[in-house]
Structure formats: C-alpha cells, structure tokens
Amino acid sequence: MYALAENALVLFPQAVTTQIHQSRLIQCLQQQALIAQTFESEEGTAYLPGAGFAQHISFMGCAPAIDTALPSTGQSLTNFYAVRCVSSEAIEFLGNAATRPPRCPHCKAFLSNWQTPLKQWQAGSSNAFMCPDCGTRTSPELWHWRKRGGFARTAIWIHGVFEGLKSVGR
C-alpha cells in the first residue's frame, strides 16, 4: 500500500454542484493519456502518470523526471506523481494539513477555528459558517480559502505537485 505525497494540485469545477461521473472522468483522462496503470494507495485507487502527463501539466522553471512505473514498496513517494479522481453525490471538502483559515467573503475576517464549523457542516448539523467579526452566515464554499481548500462533488487530485515559486537553496 502506497502513501501518496500530501502536496497536491487539486482541480475541480467552479460550480460546486457540478458532478462528472467517475467512470466518465477516468475515461477522459485515459484518452488524453494523462493517467495510465492503476494502483492502490492509502487514499484509495490512484493512477500512475501516463505518456501525456507532461503535455497537460507544465512545471515552471524545472523539468521534473516523471516516473511512469511504481517505485518499490517502502520507498519514499515524495517526488512521485499520482492522480486520483474523486466523484460523489455529496459535496466534499477539499483540503489537507496545508489548508489555512478562510476569509469571510463579506468583511475579509479570518475564521481561525474553521475546523469546528467544518466538522458540523460535514455532520450535516450546519449549512453555513458564521463570521466571528460581522456575524454573517455564509455557505462554506463561498468563503475565501486562498487556494488551500475548496468544495466540490468532482475533483482530480495530482499528488506530488508542490506549491508555487519558492526558491530552494539558491
């Protein structure tokens, strides 16, 4: 079982209710050769990059080696790209440990303890987050997640992609 890199580029439709059926999404990515062989990861079924991966995903300032075969078990997957397709009837939160507090769409205040209202939303006991500053209640997908979170029914996760233009030791 492989643990995928936590760093990921997540692509999802702008309209939160849009759902693309998983089999249709996978078929489309296979036709574009963005994905190839499937394998099991701790996060569920994943795909190795296909021959067309580098044509669809461009990396600024570097040309990373893209493995199209699985490393041996137990080896680090830090610089390994893997693709997951997620599709569900329910709207899912897309975030991870890198997610930062969202900003209120009305007054721009931060919601520092966002995990608590998120859990209430996920449990179905609340349909909005209340702003601690202006008191407005707003659906979680309308908060500004600052590129570190989002909401969707369909998403493509590309694991192994690191964020932004950080210089590394130069």
By CB under 5 A, residue 106 contacts Zn ion: yes
- Does position 130 bind Zn ion by CB under 5 A? no
What's the maximum distance between 2 C-alpha atoms anywhere in the chain? 53
Distance CA 161, CA 54 (A): 12
Least Cα distance to 41 among 81, 68, 99, 12 occurs for 81
Residue 118: CB minimum distance to Zn ion, A: 17
Is residue 111 a contact point for Zn ion (CB under 5 A)?
no
> Which of these segments, 13-21, 68-76, 93-101, 131-139, binds Zn ion (CB under 5 A)?
131-139
Which strand (E) or helix (H) includes residue 46? strand 44-49
Q: Does 103 bind Zn ion (CB under 5 A)?
A: no
Interface segment toward Zn ion; rule CB under 5 A; list 16-24, 49-57, 123-131, 144-152: 123-131
Query: Which span sits near Zn ion by CB under 5 A: 36-44, 84-92, 134-142, 153-161?
Result: 134-142
Q: Is 163 in the site for Zn ion (CB under 5 A)?
A: no
Return all residues near 92 (Cβ < 8 A) that are at least 6 apart.
Answer: 86, 151, 152, 153, 155
Least distance from C-beta 105 to Zn ion, angstroms? 8
Is the CB of residue 8 less than 8 Å from the CB of residue 160?
yes
In the complex, which residues of this chain contact Zn ion (CB under 5 A)?
104, 106-107, 109, 131, 133-134
